[in-house]
Amino acid sequence: MQLNQYLLLIFLICFSTYAKADDTSARTIQKVVQNHVNQQNRLNLAFSHSIIPQPLSIRIAPGFLKLSEVKQIIIPENNNEIKLLARLYQKSLNLPNVKIVESKSPKPGKVKSIVLQLPFVDRHPDLYTIQVNKTGIQISAQLEQGLFYGLQSLIQLSEQSNFIKIPFLVMEDQSEFSYRGMHLDVSRHFFTTDFIKQYLDLLARYKFNKFHWHLTDDQGWRIEIKKYPLLTEVGSIRKKTLIGAYGSNPVKYDDTEYGGFYTQEEIKEIVRYAKERYIEIIPEIEMPGHSAAILAAYPHLSCNPAKSYGVATTWGVSDNTLCPTDTTLMFMKDVLNEVCELFPGKLIHIGGDEVVKDVWKNSQECSKIMQRQKLKNYEELQSYFIKQMDLHLTKKGKTLIGWDEILEGGLSQNAVVMSWRGTEGGIAAANQKHDVVMCPGTHCYFDHYQSTSMDEPLAIGGYTSLEKVYSFQPVPSELKPEFTKYILGSQGNVWTEYIPTNEQALYMAFPRAIALAEVNWTKTENKDYKDFLGRLKHHFAWFSRNNINLSQAYLDLQYKTNLNQKGLFLYFTKPPVPGKILMESKSNEEGLFQEYLHSDSINLLASKEFKCWYQLADHTLGRSLSIQYQKSKSTASKLILINQPSKKYSSGGSIALINGIDAPENKFSGVEWLGFDNGSDLEAFLELEKADSISRFSIQVFQEESSWIYMPSKIELLASEDGKNYQTLKIFEPGLRPGRSINLIMNLDKPVSSRYWKILVKNYGIIPTGVPGEGKGAWLFVGELRLD
């Protein structure tokens, strides 16, 4: 119930109690209240706002203000920042002829006006209020940034009428979190200043206030450092770039030189541009790991200067680690000196993640440093390096921020932690009273697939849907109340190994960034995913008008299979918006046939191929879901797994192994793959409905060494007459094979009739040295099993 409704109810109670009204008077007042409530409900139905992020409160009143009737913008005098904002109001609301008038006491006048003022003190720094009535629009805030955020909401309201009118309303709004960030990696692929400005415009539209600019990595150094020109002359250029997925076999390159960097003048221009949109840029200079580009330019900073270094041409984690000598420390401090001059914001990101320490373990110089500094292990050596950067940045009035690995070996005194390997690092840092930015890969990595559709462009892996992003809670429930204040907010990360173009960067970032905007800005109790999708429709139209292609994966149908007494069923999960399922199938009798399903499930009987779409009430179609059901003799049989798959990679359940549907060939996420981690084997027992003759066994496996996923070392097929004593029929050692998703086929020497079968798939085991995940147990991914 809205505030004015509460006031009327209070009036009713007071009148009934103290005025001793008779029954007729009470009924009259109740009727007034009910009429007001009905009117308010009709207004809300007549005009449903599309503002994202959802405001703290908004109340609609009868009537509209025509923007063409606004004649002036009234602002406080002698405030150049608000004068610039007033010009932005002119431009953004299509009011080029409206005058800007300065006043000692800005307030509505005789003509319809937009009034900008800062009356609030000791309130929220992002607070703003908007009143739209017959006199015009009044925007009040505590700080100028609040006036800017108010403008973003006004723009979105105005777009609903094509900038013709805005409904009369009263609105109050402020952010839930102080850190509302988006990230962009420009090392793996470079993006021009024009694109960075477009990216910043989109962040500003959704009230983000931090831009994390990942400027350096193994694959390229992208920022001009005048003291060390080789960083860009050499370190910004790689000789070639990997084609396809990292870890694919065989490996292919494009053999084309790739480069690019930002001059200091270009960076100053971007910083100015961001400041005008109330966005702080956080530059990231990776150290001491991910430093191939540095070592290619200045090899003396390594622990092995005689080695030949080059800018990385592939992805993943390498042993290109800086040697933590005094020379290296001074070099990196010199770099940070220039970085600090370019970026006026408080935070400077120094990376600190995925540091391969083998080069340190083999270095006499590192041993001497550890003895001199009384360091017990190599984690403390990394901490020593980070602490030196922390002290230097603190002296320059800056605050160090780094990935959660900077916790290892001891957290430096002033550091802010960016928690990406789950939320555990953030919890540990907050418990130590350090500020935290949450960006776990499970919810905030926008380089992950956003759909299980086969039509998605190649991505690094994973699956992070729009709904999953929207469900994120930056403050972990495990954190004690006294430490929740250290959670500053959250950030979406866009790593660009597989994102070479502007178009793809926006496609991967949005609309998931829009969902994260609401996570960071809006109170949890005001969030509702279904309502968010309703508002999002208007924003899709805006992106379309601006020729930006967004993923509509949120309209994708999802499914799981389940086996019950009535047979094998495919169950659909529909988007939480009104619509119905359209199915297209083909048969010899009827040819191509379409129908709307009357239920959300299909009984899978004979082999068939079909497509399904989710169709909205306005006939908008989501993308097609193609299902090819191929029934084998083992489909929907009784299955027992000895070792259970990882909870992270078993969302479809064990039935996915025998549901007659192949796992997707281009990714290891989704409901059809089962992942077994830490060197675990697959040991499965299959019981057919009755003894049957089998001559072939096939198994679908996945390999991607960059993700620690390896081919099985051995596959063994066994059969039994009694379900107790099993005999080996075939042993198969796959060896190295090209491709990612591979269907391995084992033909038996002769057909074997049996009801009871055992399948043993041996994990690769321990990952060898020199590759990602070395020394860890490999992952084994298995898709469909078939006995024919």
Closest by Cα among 602, 487, 490 to 212: 490
CA 338 remoteness from chain centre = 31
What residues contact residue 267 under an 8 Å CB cut-off, 6+ apart? 223, 224, 342, 343
Residue 609, helix vs strand vs coil: strand
Q: Is beta strand 99-103 parallel, antiparallel or unpaired with respect to 72-76?
A: parallel
What residues contact residue 596 under an 8 Å CB cut-off, 6+ apart? 580, 581, 582, 583
354 tagged catalytic? yes
The count of other CB atoms within 10 Å of the CB of residue 596 is 9
CB 79 within 8 A of CB 38: no
Closest by Cα among 319, 343, 453 to 398: 343
Closest by Cα among 140, 136, 86 to 111: 136
Residue 157, helix vs strand vs coil: helix
The count of other CB atoms within 10 Å of the CB of residue 582 is 19
DSSP state of 664: P
CB 780 within 8 A of CB 676: yes
**Cis-peptide into 324, omega within 30 deg:** no
Catalytic residue (choose from 144, 266, 334, 354): 354
| Spatial separation of the C-alpha atoms in residues 68 and 211, rounded to whole Å | 35
Q: Is beta strand 436-438 parallel, antiparallel or unpaired with respect to 487-492?
A: parallel
290 tagged catalytic? yes
| Spatial separation of the C-alpha atoms in residues 746 and 756, rounded to whole Å | 17
Residue given tokens 């200079």 in the structure block: 285
Q: What φ, ψ does residue 682 adopt, rounded to 5°?
A: -100, 120
Helical axes 144-159 vs 193-205, angle rounded to 10° = 90
| Spatial separation of the C-alpha atoms in residues 707 and 767, rounded to whole Å | 11
Q: What's the half-sphere exposure (Cβ side, CA atoms, 13 Å) at 315?
A: 24
Cα dist. 444→104, 512, 641 in Å?
A: 46, 9, 33
Catalytic residue (choose from 189, 212, 290, 349): 290
Closest by Cα among 114, 102, 202, 189 to 152: 202
Catalytic residue (choose from 217, 319, 405, 556): 217
212 tagged catalytic? no
Q: Could you list the beta-strand ranges (E) of 164-275.
A: 165-173, 179-185, 210-214, 216-217, 220-221, 242-243, 252-253
Which positions are annotated as active-site residues?
Answer: 217, 290, 354
